[in-house]
Amino acid sequence: MHRPLFEPEHQVFRDSFRSFVENEILPFHARWEEEGIVPREIWNKAGENGFLCMDVEEKYGGAGISDFRYDSIVIEELANTGASGVYFSLHTDVVVPYITNYGTEEQKQRWLPRMAAGEWIGAIAMTEPGAGSDLAALRTTAVRRGNCYIVNGQKTFISNGILNDIAIVAVKTDPQAGHKGISLLVVERGTPGFERGNQFHKMGLHAQDTAELYFSDAQVPVENLLGAEGQGFKLLMKELPRERMSLSVGAIAGARAAFDLTLKYAKDRKAFGQPIGSFQHSKFLFAEMHTEITIGQTFIDQCILDLNAGTLTNDTASMAKWWTTELLKRVVDHCVQLHGGYGYIMETPIARRYLDARVATIFSGTTEIMKEIIGRGLGL
């Protein structure tokens, strides 16, 4: 599919990153899945090669290129190859923008160069055992005491939960103020009172470390506050569209990759003397998936341009997130069925893609929450 979204310089970047994935990630990814984590060295190598934090200013170690098309290429190439354990996009597209957009000059100088180099890995900690999409229900508290905030609480389902050196943590600095009492604190590795729980054993994304974070009288310096006290909810709402776009880009790319490998299988695999793809049911199913993926890609490409222009709304990002992730789930399910018994064997790539895809409609806002946002935008 020709995509006018990209310029020649983007293709050069894609070729470079694709080579990086083929040489530095794919030969080792199966082992990383067995180990349940990717090595820190791959983050260092990505940073050295300029594949992290592309839009961070050069004076802070980035490339100074504010163009989400480059970020989308990284997401797409990892999705194309099924390298689901390497969560560069969380670091680059979710965590870092909070610092570049709302951090002080001192904070930027302290954190961004290490993050751009891949020396420090980022995470964001919002979800709690009793609070997910309902941020007003957060129970992690931060009480200022002298030059520190004393943080108490627990976060769960945190991606990069084991590897992270820096986590943006949503806390209640005023527990009685609802949304207006939420603030964002940056908690660094080694902070007294900050511990990681056990890594979760998940259905899919086996090489991606997801864990709980615990805060027991954790002492976070006041200079680690992002923005002002009580601004946390507003900042989260401003940044969620980009987070949801990164997931949408990965979802549509993953759907296309699953489709492509299944189409090849359907042309090679024979039953009753003919390729299974030539049967009318299979042919119609491929036609439907191909059409939906093409429509979805066109929408996502426009959303990328809107994000670059600063005009992407939360409603539109929510549309993109729910529709592409539900499409991904539907496509991989069809693809497993088309593989027959082989689709249920873990040595077959589509089986792992099926498991990896299932969480897409859940994290970063469930499909139901996305529809709620869209419905409210309609005045309902």
Our measurement of the distance from residue 347's CA atom to the centroid of its chain's CA atoms, rounded to an integer in Å, reads: 25
Residue whose token pair is 């992270």: 164
210-221 and 270-271 beta bridge pairing: unpaired
Non-local (6+) Cβ contacts of 37 within 8 A are 85, 162, 163, 199, 207, 209
Q: What is the 3-state secondary structure (H, E, C) of the chain?
A: CCCCCCCHHHHHHHHHHHHHHHHHHHHHHHHHHHHCCCCHHHHHHHHHCCCCCCCCCHHHCCCCCCCHHHHHHHHHHHHHHCCCCCCHHHHHHHHHHHHHHHCCHHHHHHHHHHHHCCCCCEEEECCECCECCCHHHCCCEEEEECCEEEEEEEEEEEECCCCCCEEEEEEECCCCCHHHHEEEEEEECCCCCEEEEEECCCCCCCCCCEEEEEEEEEEEEHHHEECCCCCHHHHHHHHHHHHHHHHHHHHHHHHHHHHHHHHHHHHHCEECCEEHHHCHHHHHHHHHHHHHHHHHHHHHHHHHHHHHHCCCCHHHHHHHHHHHHHHHHHHHHHHHHHHHHHHHCCCCHHHHHHHHHHHHHCCCCCHHHHHHHHHHHCCC
Cβ-count burial 164-183 (b if 16+ within 10 Å, e if not): bbbbbbbbbbeeeeeebbbb
Catalytic residue among 76, 128, 239, 243: 243
Cβ-count burial 101-128 (b if 16+ within 10 Å, e if not): ebbeeebbebbbbbbbbbebbbbbbbbb
243 in active site? yes
Residues involved in catalysis: 243
